[in-house]
């Protein structure tokens, strides 16, 4: 499903161990998405005097209004209602509540401001309409049965709070009431229609013609009349008349078809436009039938064994080559004299690298096997197999700390600890322990704090296993962590800041140690201790936002395409570079994307030059890193990539690890145990942050075609570099 193919190599390794077993990859070659157009993201206009803008994350019909998604309304003080209020929606349901492959213990949203202010929902059992407010931290609600013709006819549903009662009206007639008093709590969640910006997996399954929010209590009769003083008034029928000029690949429900299986048929190795999905490279690697292993790497003349896994043909149609990488950069290369190895047989070869190993560097030998001649189906030089072999000549160099003869200084207040070194400064919040500022020459790199993060936007497999609800304790646990103690003390030319944190998940805790050097570098050491009766953890790391200009990403690790703990065999290790929006794969059904594993170091630089950020893995553990060209919530709320706005941020994830994708099936199976993050023990990771000045980079376009295919305007296929 969508983002899958995790543990595919484990599957094939098991097949290879058993002589009589046969394996297969039973799924689709191509996503079954159909090109369709819809209205622009800003098509829905607020007819109230406030003119609040909103983001369309669904489809519109001239007859039925909003369906197959929802609308997120931009935050506005006009919607922070604490007193009497009325919510009105003209709706028809397709089912009792949500769509396929969704689960919710909180109900299905009609018109909500998260689930901690005011909301109108269909209850979780799909049998009632519920109107609720939260007052002084206590949620109070009134509910009534769905109309008998809920699936056939539109009804005007209204939730009314007059300061003393909660009431529900259906078609202008009061259907239920309950005595309730107290001010409505406020929160930072945007108002949404058919979505919940607090419980982002929730979806309403039905059609909504209009939605209105009033800052007073209407009578039941008034809810069916024209409302002149609404604070938000959305007419989806009117919005549906606007031009449909945004293209997207549609799936189940996008044609207002019912029942449907949503994006279940978007499960191929290729996108609907035949662009390869990231798992394509993983399948190619798992299926290759030429394999190399290192037999002796003790000297610069390396001994290898090449095995021909084919059943019927020798290797006489192939040519070989090798490349030696030092710290991710090509050091030497040459041709490999490949004999004609018979089917199911091996040959031992040697490669004279002529290298004088440096014990303080990391070496990788990469082997590649190409077609020696043109065939009816592929050109000469088409790569058919490759392997990379780490050599035991040295070790990964630790990042060098810049020397400084002057000492860093520290300023402390009750709110934050501020550190200074030359033209670089950093600040740690005393209430959260998060890094809230990192500047050079007064240029701020962080648009949002660098805080602990244990969540990823859910994948198709996550949704199939209903992990949003099963694991949701981790969704905001990192950003809601609180500091029990934050201290700062000089240490030579450095300042050492230690923050002890309480994590709102069981009895979990963490310690963050920041070493700010006299040269302005910041070494971060993280120790996370999950504790209590907790589910597995989606991700363990830290997250921040950078300005959108810092979109030129260079890294030494697995790539160039996205890869994950249980899906990185098809990615090769070298120095890669690209632009964040292009490195973030746009799945037909938006979900977690853009991760890279085994990262030694990475830089994020501004396309126009200026301040950039470098991240180095320190200690014995490598990093995982991902960068989104948007906010994480925007990925989760979007129904299609066209629903994700072009924001002015890059969301940066610096992770110890992210759990595997899984792929045994897409309707309940978890990732294999080996690729789970269990809530026990101590997780430790560390990295070094350096802010630096950079000139405008020279960028090359990312390839979008599979290896061996001709690039536009040329007839010669160009194999992908390995």
Each residue's pLDDT tens digit, 677-707: 999 999 999 999 999 987 765 655 554 444 4
- The pLDDT value given to residue 707: 46
- Report the pLDDT averaged over residues 120-124: 94
- Report the pLDDT averaged over residues 286-315: 96
Residue 31 has pLDDT above 60, yes or no: yes
Residue 96 has pLDDT above 70, yes or no: no
Residue 67 has pLDDT above 60, yes or no: yes
- Report the pLDDT averaged over residues 91-95: 88
The string of pLDDT tens digits covering residues 150-190 is 999 999 999 999 999 999 999 999 999 999 999 999 999 99
Tell me phi and psi for residue 46, to 5 degrees.
-85, 120
| 34-38, 400-404, 418-422, 433-437: range with lowest mean pLDDT | 400-404
Q: How confident is the model at residue 106 (pLDDT cuts 50, 70, 90)?
A: low
State how far the Cα of 191 lies from the Cα of 206, in Å rounded to an integer.
18
- The pLDDT value given to residue 536: 98
Instruction: Decide if 168 contacts 223 (C-beta within 8 A).
Output: no
Residue 297 has pLDDT above 70, yes or no: yes
- The pLDDT value given to residue 700: 57
The string of pLDDT tens digits covering residues 498-532 is 999 999 999 999 999 999 999 999 999 999 999 99
Residue 101 has pLDDT above 50, yes or no: no
Q: How confident is the model at residue 21 (pLDDT cuts 50, 70, 90)?
A: confident
Secondary structure (DSSP) of 52-114 = --EEEEEEEETTTEEEEEEEEEPP-GGG---SSEEEEEEEEESSSS--TT---SS-EEEEEBT
- The pLDDT value given to residue 100: 44
- The pLDDT value given to residue 716: 40
- The pLDDT value given to residue 715: 43
- The pLDDT value given to residue 16: 87
Instruction: Decide if 367 contacts 288 (C-beta within 8 A).
Output: no
Mean model confidence pLDDT for the chain:
92
pTM score, two decimals?
A: 0.92
Burial of 388 (0-12, 13-18, 19+ CB in 10 A): middle
- The pLDDT value given to residue 699: 55
- The pLDDT value given to residue 708: 44
Percent of the chain with pLDDT over 70: 94
The string of pLDDT tens digits covering residues 529-587 is 999 999 999 999 999 999 998 999 999 999 999 999 999 999 999 999 999 999 999 99
Distance set, CA 343 to CA 57, 289, 290, 336 (Å): 54, 10, 10, 19
DSSP-derived letter for residue 608 is T
226, 239, 242: which is closest to 88 by C-alpha? 226
86, 110, 233: which is closest to 163 by C-alpha? 86
- The pLDDT value given to residue 107: 79
State how far the Cα of 424 lies from the Cα of 404, in Å rounded to an integer.
13
The string of pLDDT tens digits covering residues 618-675 is 999 999 999 999 999 999 999 999 999 988 899 999 999 999 999 888 888 999 999 9
């Amino acid at each position: 499903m969508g983002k899958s193919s995790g543990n595919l190599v484990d599957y094939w390794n098991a097949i290879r161990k058993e002589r009589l077993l046969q394996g297969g990859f039973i799924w689709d070659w191509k996503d079954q998405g159909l090109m369709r157009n819809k209205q622009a993201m800003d098509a829905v206009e607020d007819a109230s005097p406030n003119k609040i803008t909103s983001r369309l994350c669904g489809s519109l019909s001239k007859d039925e209004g909003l369906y197959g998604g929802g609308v997120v309304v931009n935050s506005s003080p006009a919607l922070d209602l604490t007193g009497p209020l009325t919510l009105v929606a003209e709706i028809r349901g397709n089912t009792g509540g949500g769509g396929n492959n969704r689960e919710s213990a909180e109900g299905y949203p009609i018109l909500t401001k998260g689930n901690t202010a005011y909301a109108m929902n269909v209850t979780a059992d799909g049998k009632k309409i519920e109107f609720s407010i939260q007052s002084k931290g206590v949620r109070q609600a009134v509910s009534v049965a769905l109309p008998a013709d809920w699936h056939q006819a539109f009804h005007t549903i209204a939730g009314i709070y007059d300061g003393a009662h909660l009431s529900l009206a259906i078609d202008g007639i009061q259907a239920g009431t309950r005595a309730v008093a107290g001010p409505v709590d406020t929160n930072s969640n945007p108002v949404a229609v058919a979505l919940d910006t607090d419980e982002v997996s929730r979806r309403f399954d039905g059609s909504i013609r209009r939605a209105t929010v009033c800052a007073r209590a209407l009578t039941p009769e008034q809810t069916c009349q024209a409302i002149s003083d609404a604070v938000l008034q959305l007419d989806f029928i009117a919005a549906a008349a606007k031009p449909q000029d945004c293209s997207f690949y549609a799936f189940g429900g996008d044609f207002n078809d019912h029942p449907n299986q949503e994006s279940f048929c978007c499960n191929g190795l290729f996108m609907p436009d035949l662009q390869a999905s990231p798992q394509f490279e993983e399948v190619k690697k798992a299926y290759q039938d030429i394999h190399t292993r290192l037999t002796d790497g003790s000297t610069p003349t390396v001994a290898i064994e090449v095995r021909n896994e084919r059943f019927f043909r020798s290797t006489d149609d192939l040519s070989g080559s090798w490349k030696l990488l030092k710290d991710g950069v090509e050091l030497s290369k040459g041709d490999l004299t490949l004999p004609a190895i018979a089917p199911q047989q091996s040959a031992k070869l040697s490669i004279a690298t002529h290298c004088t190993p440096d014990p303080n560097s990391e070496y990788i030998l990469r082997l590649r096997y190409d077609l020696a001649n043109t065939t009816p189906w592929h050109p000469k030089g088409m790569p058919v197999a490759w392997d990379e072999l780490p050599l035991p000549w040295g070790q990964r160099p630790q990042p060098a700390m810049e020397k400084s003869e002057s000492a860093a200084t520290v300023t402390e207040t009750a709110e934050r600890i501020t550190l200074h070194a030359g033209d670089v400064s950093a600040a740690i919040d005393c209430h959260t322990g998060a890094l809230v500022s990192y500047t050079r020459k007064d240029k701020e790199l962080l648009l949002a704090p660098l805080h602990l993060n244990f969540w990823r936007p859910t994948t198709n497999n996550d949704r199939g296993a209903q992990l949003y609800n099963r694991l949701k304790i981790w969704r905001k646990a990192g950003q809601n962590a609180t500091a029990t103690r934050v201290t700062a003390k000089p240490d030579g030319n450095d300042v050492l800041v230690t923050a002890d944190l309480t994590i709102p998940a069981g009895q979990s805790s963490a310690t963050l140690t920041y070493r700010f050097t006299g040269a302005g570098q910041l070494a971060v050491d993280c120790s996370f201790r999950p504790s209590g009766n907790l589910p597995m953890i989606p991700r363990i790391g830290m997250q921040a936002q950078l300005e959108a200009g810092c979109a030129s990403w260079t890294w030494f690790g697995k790539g160039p395409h996205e890869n994950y703990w249980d899906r990185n065999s098809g990615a090769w290790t070298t120095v890669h570079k690209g632009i964040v929006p292009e490195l973030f794969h746009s799945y037909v059904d938006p979900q977690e994307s853009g991760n890279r594993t085994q990262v030694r170091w990475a830089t994020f630089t501004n396309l126009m030059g200026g301040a950039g950020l470098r991240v180095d893995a320190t200690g014995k553990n490598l990093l995982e890193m991902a960068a989104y060209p948007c906010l994480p919530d925007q990925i989760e709320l979007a129904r299609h990539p066209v629903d994700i706005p072009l924001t002015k941020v890059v969301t940066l994830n610096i992770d110890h690890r992210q759990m595997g994708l899984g792929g045994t099936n897409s309707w309940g199976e978890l990732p294999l145990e080996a690729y789970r993050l269990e809530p026990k023990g101590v997780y430790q990771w560390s990295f070094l942050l350096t802010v630096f000045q950079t000139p405008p980079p020279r960028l090359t376009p990312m390839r979008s075609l599979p290896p061996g295919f001709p690039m536009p305007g040329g007839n010669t296929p160009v194999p992908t570099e390995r």
